[in-house]
Amino acid sequence: MKILVTGGAGFIGSHLVEQLLKQNHSVITIDDLSNGKKSFLYTVMDHPNHQFIQGSVLETDILKQAIKGCDVVFHLAAVLGVKNTVENPLKVIEGNIDGTRSVLEAAYLNKTKVIFTSTSEVYGKNDNLPFHEDSLRVLGPTTTSRWCYATAKALDEHMCFAYAQKGLPVIVVRYFNAYGPRATSTQYGGVVPKFITAALQGKPITVYGSGEQTRCFTYVEDTVLGTMGCLNPNVKNQVFNIGINEEISINKLAQQIKLISGSQSSIVHIPYEKALGKGYEDTVHRVPDIIKASELLSFQPKISLEDGLKKTISWYKRQMKEQEGD
Ligand SMILES: NC(=O)c1ccc[n+]([C@@H]2O[C@H](COP(=O)([O-])OP(=O)(O)OC[C@H]3O[C@@H](n4cnc5c(N)ncnc54)[C@H](O)[C@@H]3O)[C@@H](O)[C@H]2O)c1
């Protein structure tokens, strides 16, 4: 197939591009490098079936040209991260809503199936676990910018289904906390990169709140596996949770990272308010129900948290060594 990947130089996108090429698809990557890096694509930059375009999905001429003749577009380009939602909500709203509208319109004109990457954040504060794809969305007030990412992604999902109503095949995947090599955006809120970096540098590992909040951290290979399942031509106009259902508290995550990396770092706690400003609310627990993805996409996560953390920490160690050698 001929496939366009938006945001393909980012953390998840770069792994997806690699896998698509391994399966002999022809891939065009478009990324404005606002958060991605060309170096994430170093293994595939010169691949004969790969073309990289540095550009924004908001530049409609570039997008229309790139999508021509594509069977599928994986739309990952987005503005994300807890820090962005708190400090730059307008950037988050514009980046997600305008970008997705632009991709959907170009795909519609070209009859290209869209696989849109959404987030478990859309379930918000719902405490009825696990989350099914049709679970309620329980979000806080609009005066708290913390909810703008979840809201923008939910509106993007609505836009996907509005285009589906006009005949465009779409799939929405909701990712649950992906981590792994290249998840380097410590300043944008990734807890795994933050903890690993602190552990390897011997600095305090900082936990927000009580640390008893839980998440299901999904190794990026598994995230990509579920995403690739959407290439199944018989599946369309559906939402899927893509994640592992191995739940861990942030306190335990900190301890595990400390142990695996052999770190002497202390684990310290600070209130959310101090870290992310007044009124910040966190989701307490987040667990996916993945039965639907398992039945329709044959998705079964393979990498345990312990194995995934070992692989990720090894990658970080190599990166740090390389940087020391520079
Ligand atoms: N990482 C996670 O745990 C997670 C969880 C839920 C959902 N998601 C979703 O998965 C997707 C990929 O996330 P990621 O973690 O790889 O983030 P990322 O920031 O590494 O990747 C996003 C990429 O999009 C690019 N980009 C941003 N705006 C663009 C634009 N206008 N035009 C072209 N490129 C643009 C960035 O440069 C970056 O390379 C996003 O849509 C995100 O919302 C990620």
Q: What is the pLDDT of residues 50-61, one digit of tens each?
A: 999 999 999 999
How many Cβ atoms are within 10 Å of 209's Cβ, its own excluded?
17
What is residue 85's predicted lDDT score, i.e. its pLDDT?
A: 87
The CA distance from 51 to 246, in Å, is: 37
- Write out the residue range of the structural domain in which residue 59 sits: 2-176+219-243+287-302
Q: Is the residue at 198 inside a domain?
A: no
State the Cα angle at 269 between 272 and 121, rounded to 5°: 40
Q: Is the residue at 269 inside a domain?
A: no
275 lines ligand 1 (CB under 6 A): no
- 3-class secondary structure, 74: strand
Instruction: Say how many Å lie between the CA of residue 31 and the centre of ligand 1.
Output: 9
Q: Is the residue at 89 inside a domain?
A: yes
Q: Is the residue at 189 inside a domain?
A: no
Q: Is the residue at 321 inside a domain?
A: no
Pick the residue whose CA is nearest to atom 1 on ligand 1. Answer: 178
77 lines ligand 1 (CB under 6 A): yes
The CA distance from 236 to 258, in Å, is: 42
124 lines ligand 1 (CB under 6 A): no
What is residue 86's predicted lDDT score, i.e. its pLDDT?
A: 84
Catalytically active residues, by annotation: 149
* Domain count of the fold of the chain: 1
193 lines ligand 1 (CB under 6 A): no
Check: CB of residue 238 under 8 Å from CB of residue 296.
Answer: yes
The CA distance from 25 to 22, in Å, is: 7
The CA distance from 94 to 117, in Å, is: 16
Q: Is the residue at 153 inside a domain?
A: yes
Residue 257: what residue type? Answer: I
The CA distance from 23 to 126, in Å, is: 38
Instruction: Say how many Å lie between the CA of residue 166 and the centre of ligand 1.
Output: 26
What is residue 56's predicted lDDT score, i.e. its pLDDT?
A: 97
Q: What's the CATH number where 133 sits?
A: 3.40.50.720
Q: Is the residue at 97 inside a domain?
A: yes
Residue 24: what residue type? Answer: N
Residue ranges of the chain whose pLDDT lies below 70: 185-189, 326
6 lines ligand 1 (CB under 6 A): yes
Q: Is the residue at 52 inside a domain?
A: yes
- Which residues make Cβ contacts (< 8 Å) with residue 81, sequence separation at least 6? 185, 187, 188, 189, 190
The DSSP code for 21 is H
Substitution site in 37, 75, 80 for ligand 1 pocket (most atoms within 8 Å of beta carbon): 80
Instruction: Say how many Å lie between the CA of residue 77 and the centre of ligand 1.
Output: 5
The b/e string for 254-269 (b: 16+ C-beta within 10 A; e otherwise) is bbebbebbebebebee
